[in-house]
Amino acid sequence: MTGADDSPALDPRLLAVLVCPLTRTALRYDEAAGELISDAAGLAYPVRGGVPVMLVEEARPIGDSAPA
């Protein structure tokens, strides 16, 4: 399956070990948007070419939460 930018699906083993670099909490994968979501930080980290971009500067804010 592919994400929003035609990236390959994220490996579930990788998702199991990744955490938000800001909060150190688990992430959830939004395959349709091609993003890793940190509910705790209120950020969405992009996945480009099947590679998660785990930089706070590259994440976009989501919802009403703002980064700490």
Q: How much is the pLDDT for 63?
A: 81
Query: Is 26 within 8 Å of 19 (Cβ atoms)?
Result: yes
In 3D, which of 24, 18, 16, 68 has the Cα closest to residue 42? 68
Q: How much is the pLDDT for 3?
A: 44
57 φ, ψ (degrees, to nearest 5): -65, -25
Handedness of CA 46, 23, 57, 51 (dihedral sign): negative
**Per-residue pLDDT tens digits for 8-66:** 678 889 999 999 999 999 999 999 999 999 999 999 999 998 899 999 999 999 986 44
Residue 2's pLDDT band, with cuts at 50, 70 and 90, is very low
Q: How much is the pLDDT for 11?
A: 86
